[in-house]
Amino acid sequence: MINFNKFYKLFGVISTSLVILSIILLFFKGLNFGVDFKGGTLIELRAKDNQTNVSILRDAFNKMNLGDVNIKKFGEENDFLIKIEKKDTSENIIQLIKTDLTKSIGDTYNFRRVENVGPKVSSELLKSGISAIFLSLVAMLFYIWVRFEWQFSLGAIIALFHDVIITLGLFSLLNLEINLSIVAAVLTIVGYSMNDTVVIYDRVRENLKKYSDIKIFELTNKSINETLSRTLITSITTLLALISIYLFGGEILKGFSLAMIFGVVFGTYSSIYIANPILVELRVSQKTILKEETE
């Protein structure tokens, strides 16, 4: 048996500081929103020759008066990702860019992907992304409140917030792009983290019924240990799948799988070190669940 409960305090401090740090990052550094949420144009370009490089492209695009243009390499040798901040969805903008680009670097490229999002659509997508995340948190809160006692539901929801905030904080720190698929990843993290917490809570509740003489401090530790191998095995298989997506699933899924990898790691950690200490703090005992049942 591993004494997880010995480190409740230590990890409590660490988690709290990480959350505060993440909030500070989110406030002051903010998130790197992609065209989905900020509007603008994104072009994935593949060069047909080996001469084309970032600086040649940058010179060509700077001549076009498109405002801020961000150009970087993207995956394969001759692939580049061009982000244009200016929001212009007029029907011939892409054509104009192509004409200008061919003038400066010749017909040595093709556009593999073009995404052009107007300001109205991007603000709507942002709004619906945020409300989807909040809605999922509320739905989880509701589910857990129906299935468990309020102390459990508080613990689970704090663990969830912890995971979501730290994942976003990490995205802010590493300046990774937030797009629609990241919202999908965050929602899946919410589901996964909840899933992990619920399995341990299920065991805590079962043990509360079984043992009236074990204090919650010991009891959470016992429950974590009893479910530990499941927690680890599931995390490992999920991580194996995610790492495979990250390494072999192509550039487009990189951000998504990375967010999920962070989320699974934090979710596993938080179901042990956030969800359980909260039960201890709230002095959950056999009475807590018996009271609920007689009511």
Partner 1 sequence: MLYFSKLRIILISLITAFFLILTLSNFSNFGGSLLSKKINLGLDLQGGSYLLLEIDNDPVELQKLQNTTTDIRNFLNNEKIKFTDLRISKKSIIFNIDQKDKDTVESFFTDKNSEINPYYIQYSSHQFDLTILGDEFQLKLSEYGLIEIKISSQDQAIEIVRRRVDEVGTNEPNILKRGNDRILVELPGLDDPMRIKSLLGKTANLSFRFITQNDNDTFGAETLKFDDDINEALVSKRIILSGENLLDAQPNMNTQTNETVVSFKLDRVGAKRFGKATSDGIGKQLAIVLDGKIVSAPVIRDAIVSGSGQISGNFTFQSATDLALLLRSGALPAPLNIIEERTVGPDLGQDSINSGIISLFIGFTLVIIFMIYKYKIFGLIANITLLINLFFLIGILTLFEATLTLPGIAGIILTVGMAVDANVLIFERIKEELKDEKNNIIAFDTGYVKSKTAIIDANVTTLIAAVILFFMGSGPVKGFSVTLGVGIFTTLFSVYFIARTLTSLYVVKNKEKINLI
- The contact set with partner 1 (CB under 8 A) reads 44, 89-92, 94-95, 110-118, 120-121, 125, 128-129, 131-132, 135-136, 139-140, 143, 147, 180-181, 183-184, 187-188, 190-192, 194-196, 198-199, 202-203, 226-227, 229-230, 233-234, 236-245, 247-250, 252-253, 256-257, 260
- Of 250 and 293, which CB lies nearer to partner 1 in the complex structure? 250
The answer to whether residues 143 and 239 touch, using CB atoms and an 8 Å cutoff, is no
- Of 103 and 112, which CB lies nearer to partner 1 in the complex structure? 112
Number of Cβ within a 10 Å radius of residue 135: 12
Least distance (Å) from partner 1 to the CB of residue 20? 26
Least distance (Å) from partner 1 to the CB of residue 131? 7
Q: What angle do CA 101, 90, 78 make, to 5 degrees?
A: 30
Least distance (Å) from partner 1 to the CB of residue 221? 16
- Of 202 and 218, which CB lies nearer to partner 1 in the complex structure? 202
Q: What angle do CA 140, 207, 264 make, to 5 degrees?
A: 40
Helix (H) or strand (E) holding 32: strand 32-33
Per-residue b/e over 56-79, b at no fewer than 16 CB within 10 Å? Answer: bbeebbeebebeebebeebeeebb
Least distance (Å) from partner 1 to the CB of residue 109? 12
What are the φ and ψ backbone dihedral angles of 4, each rounded to 5 degrees?
-60, -35
Least distance (Å) from partner 1 to the CB of residue 179? 10
- Of 25 and 149, which CB lies nearer to partner 1 in the complex structure? 149
Helix ranges (H only) for 29-115 are: 35-38, 54-62, 93-105
- Of 3 and 237, which CB lies nearer to partner 1 in the complex structure? 237
